[in-house]
Amino acid sequence: MRRIVRPLACALALLLAGCGQGGDGEFTVALIGDEEDLLAEGVRLSSGAQLVRAATESGLVALDARGEVVPALAERWIVTDDGLSFIFRLREDEWADGSEMSAQSVRDELRRNLRALRGTSLGLDLSPIDEIRAMTGRVVEIRLTTPVPELLTLLAQPELALRHEGTGPMTVERTAQQPDESEGALVGELLFRFKPPVERGLPDVPEWQEEVRDLLLVSELAPRALAMFDDGDVSIVLGGRIDNLPLVDIGPLSRGTLQIDPAIGLLGLRVREAQGLLEEAVLREAIAMALDRPAVMAPFNVGGWTASTRLVAPGLPGDPGLVGERWADQSLEQRRETARARVQQYTARQDSETSGPVRLTLAIDEGPGLDLLLQGLAEQLATINVRLERAEDRDKADLVLVDRVARFSDPRWFLNQFACSLRQGLCSQQADSFVAQSMNALDPIVRASLIAQAELQMARENVYIPIGAPIRWSLVRSGSQGFSPNRYAFHPLPPMAEVPR
């Protein structure tokens, strides 16, 4: 059925605008996931829906293939010396309904987006925005309560796209939806096509179609996506995570390359509630002390991956070095000896005749990589007489796996993931207080000190047990362009739809 549907879709596209745009044919990309991920709406987007939103809708700025900020609806901008004001000049354009893209309309859309993001971690990231002003002509100013050097990266997030239909560089249409007989799931296909340059805010270029091509995005489960890559049906596979990394057979991949993103973010265990073995901070610390992080990740054989005992990724831009790795002066066995003693003291206090390891449950999905991760963690905790098992009921788990890529390179992103206002597990009111104080600190030294105190407070309360950086990977066939590994593991579709020169 797939071999029938695709030619029909391409024939229809040929009648409408020219299949392949320039004779290079459509460029096919597989995204590991399902169609629901691609078509999600609102402000809580999956990684697949972020790709669709970024291709079809624009914000003031966008991220390119390298994860760097580039112009979108704003053609240029300046930042004041104190870092408290970002001033954007909009390109001359119209909304889809023909109305002027004025500073007032852009301001109103930005305000609407900020209201919609309240109650989310991204909303917390954007909370330093104090005021959005429409100035004369096509100029918009964003004022802050405290400097946010990476505000542009935040404004480039797909959730900050201005939701006037058609502001993005590409159009999209669904071309097929049929069952995948091997997996019993629906397969989604979306066809993306570049709009003419003038509709993208660019000068009109004759024969511009020769520079671009259609892009077909296919959502597939991991085994099928990898098989399509091996068979030459797709040129790039996106959306790889730790759960499906073991499916990649690195050796025989002669026609493609495994690309690992140098992603920053969170990979670790969040404490859901302070109860049982996790009721006290010193007991939660015992779990963190027992982990041999490199050994847990060794089966994945990811070059360049580094373990960390910190909540905030080490080495971020502007990191003053006020917080270091924990237990640096202790060997693994010394840490485990302390952890075993604490677990033993806990079990001695329990009014139970049952002997044996203390049981903890972890909310973790199934998959070959996650099974390996659970097995590794269980082996580590067994050394301190703790039995770790997969939770049957996620809402009743003792621990929850956190596997998340950062939105921007700032310690606040990491701390905001555990804000008490999000109500997603155990949190620290004191750490939140330090973060809030930093929002009103104009002195960079004071601000960095408050952020460091927040991280140290989180470490003292042990609400999160870090493992290291999240793992994100893609398969990219040799000769493909428009793809670049980056720290945000975000790979926009438009660069892939440009014809290689």
> For the chain, what are the domain ranges?
2-47+168-262+472-497, 58-160, 265-468
With tokens 């703790």, the residue in question is 386
- pLDDT by position in tens, the chain (length 501): 333 334 444 333 333 333 333 335 789 999 998 766 677 777 789 899 999 999 999 999 999 999 999 999 999 999 999 999 999 999 988 888 888 899 999 999 999 999 999 999 999 999 999 999 999 889 999 999 999 999 999 999 999 999 777 899 999 998 755 555 544 444 468 999 999 998 888 888 888 999 999 999 999 999 999 999 999 999 999 999 999 999 997 665 444 589 999 999 999 999 999 999 999 999 999 999 999 999 999 999 898 898 999 999 998 987 888 999 999 999 999 999 999 999 999 999 887 666 689 999 999 999 999 999 999 999 999 999 999 999 999 999 999 999 999 999 999 999 999 999 999 999 999 999 999 999 988 899 999 999 999 999 999 999 999 999 999 999 999 889 999 999 999 999 999 999 987
Nearest to 214 by CA among 72, 8, 32, 17: 17
The helix (H) or strand (E) run that includes residue 237 is strand 236-241
Give the global pTM.
0.90
Residue 179 has a pLDDT of 53
Q: Which CATH number fits domain 265-468: 3.40.50.1360, 3.30.360.10, 3.10.105.10, 3.40.718.10?
A: 3.10.105.10
Which CATH number applies to 2-47+168-262+472-497?
Answer: 3.40.190.10
The per-type count for the chain, helices as H runs and strands as E runs, is 14, 18
CA distances 392 to 80, 242, 272, Å, are 53, 21, 15
Q: Can you state the angle between helices 332-349 and 281-289, rounded to 10 degrees?
A: 140
Quick check: helix, strand or coil at residue 287?
A: helix
- From the number of C-beta atoms within 10 Å of its C-beta (0-12, 13-18, 19+), residue 262 rates as middle
Which CATH number applies to 58-160?
Answer: 3.90.76.10
Cα torsion angle, 236, 66, 156, 215, sign: negative
Quick check: helix, strand or coil at residue 406?
A: coil
Please give the span between the terminal C-alpha atoms of the chain, in angstroms, as a whole number. Answer: 34
